[in-house]
Amino acid sequence: MTLRVGVFSAKSYDESIFTSLSQHDDISLRFLPMALDAQTAQLCSEYDAVCVFVNDNISKPVIEALHQCGVKHIALRCAGFNNIDMQAATHYGIAVSRVPAYGPEAVAEHAIALMLTLNRKIHKAYNRVKEGNFELSGLMGFTLHNKTAGIIGTGRIGAATARILSGFGCQVLCYDPYPDEALKEAGVNYVTLDTLLEASHIVSLHCPLSEDTYHLINRETIAKMRDGVMLINTSRGGLVDTSAVIQGLKNRKIGYLGLDVYEMESELFFKDHSEQIIDDDVFERLATFHNVIITGHQGFFTQEALSQIAATTLENLRDFNKGKPDPSRFLSG
């Protein structure tokens, strides 16, 4: 029996990679540019499953509408699952799958790219040289070697980031309720969150967004950091209280900020707003700082990672169709 799947928030790159990997499958994929929400969920009666991405908001009303339409499976084509009401999905017997790992180095390398760009001011140097300005004033960075880098959350991506930073000769401090023994053996030190915040020149966030970690970076935690700290967030926007961070930038506590994620990103990211007025004043204020770099949730966006995401998502769809959901990739069902 052919499995009919509505692929929401689909981009041309999703379509080409999923299509190339599913040619011989009994899976019929319909690529839809719109997000899955309470309205679009009502139009899902022609699908057995839906496939969604990071900013599709799978709240209880969306799940109720999917249930009404007979949808049996929500396949997340991402690792994080903070955007889904798992209680509602379990209540309505809808299976939820995700892609727990797809090359954590892709995101780790992006975190490092933000660190190096901010530190050595590559964004400014690029523009200067383009305009024939070879002046170095204002471009001075610091040597990473021997600096202290703090990693919050040492799962797959945090561990990959810690390994790269160790290679740079940084002293790596980590905080995670579940320390990674292999990382410890590789020479990183697990410390309390307070010690990490107080000692680190660079703080990089790699824990998931949950009730416990919401606004983990706030006025109090920022106050504990070193003056001029570099803060990097490639995990989820909700980990950071954006107005506290703006205050930290204004009073020079935060010396550098690199973001690949933003609390209110669902209104902005993955779309071209270049000919519109952006209404989000908080985002616009952030973008004015010379020592802030924001990328639009592209940490995952490498050829290798995208292929892995598509391959695992298709495997999840096939496994569910055969009645064999793999517990390591299914959150329910």
Q: How far is the CB of 197 from ligand NAD (least distance, A)?
A: 12
One of 6, 103, 150, 155 touching ligand NAD (CB under 6 A): 155
Amino acid found at 323: G
Q: Choose one: 11-19, 119-127, 141-149, 297-305; the region binding ligand NAD (CB under 6 A).
A: 297-305
Contact 45, 4 (CB under 8 A): no
One of 300, 313, 320, 329 touching ligand NAD (CB under 6 A): 300
Q: How far is the CB of 153 from ligand NAD (least distance, A)?
A: 3
Q: Which DSSP state fits 144? A: -
Rule CB under 6 A: is residue 296 a binding residue for ligand NAD? no
Rule CB under 6 A: is residue 327 a binding residue for ligand NAD? no
- CA distances to 42, 92, 98, 275 from 64, rounded to whole Å, are 9, 7, 20, 36
- Across the chain, where does the E strand assignment appear? 3-7, 27-31, 49-52, 73-76, 95-97, 148-152, 171-175, 189-190, 202-205, 229-233, 254-259, 292-294, 330-332
**Is 297 one of the annotated active-site residues of the chain?**
yes
Q: Cβ closer to ligand NAD: 67 or 236?
A: 236
CA distance 191 to 198: 11
**Is 145 one of the annotated active-site residues of the chain?**
no
One of 67, 156, 201, 226 touching ligand NAD (CB under 6 A): 156
Q: Choose one: 176-184, 244-252, 271-279, 317-325; the region binding ligand NAD (CB under 6 A).
A: 176-184
Q: How far is the CB of 245 from ligand NAD (least distance, A)?
A: 17
Q: How far is the CB of 297 from ligand NAD (least distance, A)?
A: 5
CA distance 98 to 108: 20
Beta-bridged to residue 59, according to DSSP, are: none
Rule CB under 6 A: is residue 234 a binding residue for ligand NAD? yes
Q: What is the sign, positive or negative, of the torsion defined by CA atoms of 294, 214, 300, 181?
A: positive
Q: How far is the CB of 157 from ligand NAD (least distance, A)?
A: 3
CA distance 237 to 243: 12
Q: Cβ closer to ligand NAD: 28 or 308?
A: 308
- CA distances to 35, 49, 50, 85, 256 from 38, rounded to whole Å, are 10, 16, 14, 13, 38
Rule CB under 6 A: is residue 80 a binding residue for ligand NAD? yes
Q: Which DSSP state fits 2? A: P
Encoded tokens for 140: 């001075």
Rule CB under 6 A: is residue 258 a binding residue for ligand NAD? no
208 CB burial (10 A radius; 0-12, 13-18, 19+): middle
Rule CB under 6 A: is residue 200 a binding residue for ligand NAD? no
Contact 13, 270 (CB under 8 A): no
Rule CB under 6 A: is residue 236 a binding residue for ligand NAD? yes
One of 260, 263, 265, 319 touching ligand NAD (CB under 6 A): 260
Catalytic residue, candidates 73, 236, 263, 329: 236
CB atoms within 10 A of CB 7: 24
Rule CB under 6 A: is residue 235 a binding residue for ligand NAD? yes
Contact 71, 63 (CB under 8 A): no
**Is 135 one of the annotated active-site residues of the chain?**
no
Rule CB under 6 A: is residue 295 a binding residue for ligand NAD? no
Q: How far is the CB of 250 from ligand NAD (least distance, A)?
A: 26
Rule CB under 6 A: is residue 152 a binding residue for ligand NAD? yes
Q: Just list the catalytic residues.
A: 236, 265, 297
Binding residues vs ligand NAD (CB under 6 A): 79-80, 104, 107, 152-158, 175-178, 206-209, 212-213, 234-236, 260-261, 297, 299-300
